[in-house]
Amino acid sequence: MFRLAPVLLLLSVFISPASISAQRAVDIGGKVFYADSNRPAAGVTVSVLNIQLQTILSDVTSDTGDFRFSGLGGSQYVVSVQAQDYQNARVNVDLSFELSNGMLIYLQPVAGKAKPPVSKQPAISAHELSMPEKAREAYALGQKKLYQDKNAQASLADFQHALTLAPTYFESAYQLGVAYLTLGNLAEAETAFRKSINSSGDTYGPPDVRLGGILSDRSDFAESEKLIRKGISLDPNFWLGHYELGRALLNQNHLPEALAAAEEARRLAPKALLVYRLLSNIHRLQQNYPALLADLNAYIDLDPDSPAGIRAKQIRDQMQHDHPDQSRHFAAVRP
């Protein structure tokens, strides 16, 4: 989705995990919640392990806590979920006996550490509850198709139907934009995000952040920064907002501010792989090679066995071998 730019740098290695081909392809999907607040766990790492507890695939949950892995070829797996200040969760899955497309995983807090995430937007807002029941049903169906079924195209009709029934349903306009964004239709995504902003009276942060990300892709970084800062002011715990702010600031060469934003994104979503791509670019520009090496190590720890993780190991080893004191000469892409 992101275009290459000369100012931005490192890590073409971070590609999406490839699906695993097999004789009988199966899927694993579900939703993660924080048990102490019953809120969806967004931006936490979910991994699929084999029976030897080796990582096969890894990804982060969506804004609504959903995850899905497709194309698995065996029958026995372990689903592992990790989140800061919460106990690691592991669920054994035997696909020869059960379907696992609707798993519900609740993360238990570590005693004395975990604090329920705070957001200006409740799990189900009063505004959403005020929408007609049929509109809410269409909205929920669209979310399932978008996040659980990974079928963005099919979700469009549901979100549009919800908006037909309730034109001020700004949450549905936002999710419609996310679906279009997933499909790579930036023009329609922008229209949907602007509709969400206008319908909410600009009181709902996520569409500001997403629209800011689109403007960053167009290299309109100053306007992008304004929108993203507005989104963060409305929803300060939306980790993607801090990530997108760091990306916009990096492209304006505001490195200290970009680093602060990236570090806040890491604090809110320490398992989000995107964050370490951003940190890597910042630290390379700052010529902070120990920190850059730490970014690579963090990425590898989170995603060791995917093609991206394996390539990251190769880059790290090359850095350490060829440039033990300063590793200046590595190609990179915009985060």
Query: Strand 26-34 to strand 100-107: parallel, antiparallel, or no bridges (unpaired)?
Result: parallel
Residue with the larger pLDDT of the pair 160 and 107: 160
- 43 assigned to some structural domain: yes
180-196 per-position pLDDT tens digit: 999 999 999 999 999 99
In a domain, 98, yes or no: yes
| Better-predicted residue by pLDDT, 186 or 73 | 186
When pLDDT is cut at 50, 70 and 90, the band that residue 236 belongs to is very high
Looking at residues 61-71, what average pLDDT do you find? Answer: 81
**Mean pLDDT value across the chain:** 81
Do the Cβ atoms of 211 and 227 come closer than 8 Å?
A: yes
User: Shortest CA distance to 245 belongs to which of 231, 305, 93?
Assistant: 231
**% of the chain beyond a pLDDT of 70:** 81
Single pTM value for the model: 0.63
Examine residue 125 and state whether it is found in any structural domain, yes or no.
Answer: no
Supply the range of the domain harboring residue 67. 26-107
CATH of the domain at 92: 2.60.40.10
Mind listing the pLDDT tens digit for each residue in 74-127?
A: 778 889 999 888 899 998 887 664 445 567 888 888 876 655 444 444 456 678
Higher pLDDT, 32 or 12: 32
pLDDT of residue 115: 52
Alpha-carbon span 286 to 22, nearest angstrom = 44
Is residue 56 situated within a structural domain? Answer: yes
Assess if residue 80 is contained within a domain: yes
At 126-151, the pLDDT tens digits run: 788 889 999 989 998 998 898 878 89
Number of domains comprising the chain? 1
Asked whether residue 124 is assigned to any structural domain, the reply reads no
Helix H, strand E, coil C: the string for 167-235 is: CCCHHHHHHHHHHHHHCCCHHHHHHHHHHHHHHHCCCCHHHHHHHHHHHHHCCCHHHHHHHHHHHHHHC
